[in-house]
Chains A and B, each alone.
Chain A
Amino acid sequence: MAGTAQIVTPGIAALEQPKIKIENLRKTYEVRSGEVIALNDANLDIMPNEFISVVGPSGCGKTTLLNIIAGLEQATSGRVEVDGKLVTGPGKDRGVVFQQYALFPWKTVIKNIEFGLKLRGYSKAERREKAEQYLEYVNLKDFAHAYPKELSGGMKQRVAIARAYAVQPEVLLMDEPFGALDAQTRAQLQEDLLKTWQTEKKTCFFITHDVEEAVILAQRVVIMSARPGRIKEIIDVDIPYPRDQTTKMDPKFIEIKNEIWAKVYKEYLEVQK
C-alpha cells in the first residue's frame, strides 16, 4: 500500500483541487404544513481519493446530500461541483451503492455487474472479463450465475459494490451500505471495502449511523445535525492505513470514536427534544 497522499494534510489540500466541492447547498421540500429544510447551507471540500464518512441522526439530510452529489436530486440553491464541473444529473464519474442493494432481481449476479458496462458500450467479451474481475474482488466468483434472491444480504451488497466499481467511477457514494447487515458481515465488508479502496483508489463518500464504522473507514468524519440538516463539524481521523479490525483496539481510534460518538449522541438528544 502506498503511504503517500493518503492523509490529506491541510498544506497539500490547499495546493490540490478538491474532487468534490459543495458550496452553500440548500434543499427544501414543500409539504402541506409549509416548508421543510432538509439541508441548510452545507459547505464541504472533498479531496481526490479521500475517504469521507458522514454520521448524524436521522433527518439530518445525509441522504439528501448524497442524492444531490449523485445527481438524483436537485438542490434548491447552492452548487455541487465534481472536478470543477457543476453537477446537473447522474454521471459516469460517480457510482452509488444503496442500503437496499438495488440489484436487478431478474438478472444474474454477473449480468447485474455487466449492466453498467453495457450502458457504456463495452463489447460482450470486455463486459464479461471486467465483471469477472470485479466479482473476484468481492470473492463471489462461484455465484456469477446465481440470482440475487439466492444470496444473503452481505453477498448482495458485495455484488452491488462490485457493480459500482466495475464502471470505474472516480467517486463512490455509499448510503448506509452495511446498515442492514449483521455485525460479523459488517466487519467483513468494512475490511473488504478498505482493501478495495487501497488497491483501486477512489473518492469515497460513505454515510453510516455507526460511529465506529465511520472512524475505521474514513480519513475525515463529517458530523451532521438535524432540524434543519446541516454540517456541524468535521473531524480528522489521524490513523494510518492499512487499517483492519485490530485498529479498533488502538487507543487513538477509541479516543476519536468516543469524541465523535459523544457529539453525535448530543445531536441525537437534540432531535428527541
Chain B
Amino acid sequence: MNASRISTRLITPLSVICGILIWYALSKIPSVGAIITDPIRITKTLFAEAKAGSLWTNISASMLRVLGGFALGLVVAIPVAFVMGWYKNIRAVIEPWIQFFRTIPPIALIPLVIVSQGIGESAKIAVIFIATFLVMVISIFQGVRNVDPTLIKAARVLGATDRHIFFEVVVPASFPYILVGVRLGLASAWTTLVAAEMTGANKGLGNMIMEASLYFRMDLVIMGIFVIGVIGLAMDKGVLYLERRLTGWQELRKS
C-alpha cells in the first residue's frame, strides 16, 4: 500500500524527465534538430528573452487579453445560465442560439471581428469573450438544471420562498459547475488567444511565435509554445486548487 503510493508519486516526475531526455535525443538527429531545438538552447533563449524584457511584455499582453475576455465571458455567462435554468420560456428563446454558435469554432469568427473591431485590443478580447462565454454558459446551465429536486422540496417545506430557493439552494448547488465552467472557459480563452494574436498584433505570445517563425528562430518558437503550455497548466492548477478549497463539501467518488 505504502510502497505503491510512493511509486505512484514518482511516476509523474519520471515521465517529465523521460520526456525531456527524449526531446534532447531527438534534437541531436540533424534533420530533426533543425526544427526541434534542444532543451538547453531553449532555456538559454528563455533567460535571454526574460532579461531583455520582451518576454514579459508578451506575456502580460496575452494575459490581459485572456483575463479580460474571460472575465467578461464569466460575468455575462453566470446570469444568462441562471436565467436559462430558472425560466423555461427564456431557455426556449436562448438555448437554440447558444447551441448553434457553440458548434462554430471561435477562430472562424475572427475575420468578422476584425472587420467590425479592427485589429486592436477590443477585437482580441471580443473573440475570447465569445469563446469563453459559450463554453461557460453551457456548463453553468447544466449545473442549474442538475440541482437535486429533493433539496428544493426540503427548502420549500422549511419555509423558503422562490427567492430563497434561488439564492440559498440553486446558486450554491451550481457552484461546482461554475468552477468547472471557469476551468473550461480559461482553457478555451487561452487556445483562442493564440489564434487571435496570429491574425495581427504587435505583441503577445502568439505574435511572438509568428514573428519568430518568419525569421526561422525555432528556439524562440518552441520557447513560446513552452511558455504558453506552462501558463495554461498553472492556470488550470489554480482553478483546481480553488475547486478543492471551495467545493470540498461535495460527495465525490474516490478513485
B156 lies within 8 A of A90 (CB): yes
**Chain A residues with CB under 8 A of B150:** 98, 100, 102
A119-140, CB < 8 A from B: 119-120
Among residues of B, the one whose C-beta sits closest to the C-beta of A67 is B153
**Chain B residues with CB under 8 A of A90:** 156-157, 159
**Residue with the greatest number of chain A CB neighbours at <10 A, chosen from B156, B173, B175:** B156
**Chain B residues with CB under 8 A of A71:** 157
A117–chain B nearest beta-carbon distance, Å:
9
Contact residues of B with A, CB < 8 Å?
148, 150-151, 153-160, 164, 168-169, 172-173, 175, 247-251
Query: Per a CB cutoff under 8 Å, which of A72, A95, A106, A116 touches B249?
Result: A106
User: Known: A105-B250, A106-B175. Is A119-B157 also a contact (CB below 8 A)?
Assistant: no
A86-128, CB < 8 A from B: 90, 92, 94-96, 98, 100, 102-107, 115-116, 119-120
A136–chain B nearest beta-carbon distance, Å:
20
Contact residues of A with B, CB < 8 Å?
70-72, 90, 92, 94-96, 98, 100, 102-107, 115-116, 119-120, 147-149, 163, 167
A63–chain B nearest beta-carbon distance, Å:
11
Given known contacts A98-B154, A116-B159, A149-B249, what 8 new A-B pairs fall within 8 Å (CB)? A96-B153, A104-B154, A104-B169, A106-B173, A106-B175, A119-B164, A120-B159, A148-B249
A154–chain B nearest beta-carbon distance, Å:
16
Q: Once bound together, how far apart are the Cα atoms of A208 and B181, in whole Å?
A: 41
**Residue with the greatest number of chain B CB neighbours at <10 A, chosen from A72, A105, A120:** A105
Q: Once bound together, how far apart are the Cα atoms of A102 and B173, in whole Å?
A: 12
**Chain A residues with CB under 8 A of B248:** 147
**6 closest residue pairs by CB, A with B:** A116-B158, A102-B154, A119-B159, A96-B157, A149-B251, A102-B150
User: Known: A147-B249, A149-B249, A149-B250. Is A104-B151 also a contact (CB below 8 A)?
Assistant: yes
A-B CB contact pairs (8 Å), 14 listed: A70-B157, A71-B157, A72-B156, A95-B157, A95-B158, A98-B150, A100-B150, A104-B151, A106-B173, A115-B158, A116-B159, A119-B159, A147-B249, A167-B159
A4–chain B nearest beta-carbon distance, Å:
31
Q: Once bound together, how far apart are the Cα atoms of A147 and B249, in whole Å?
A: 6
A115 lies within 8 A of B251 (CB): no
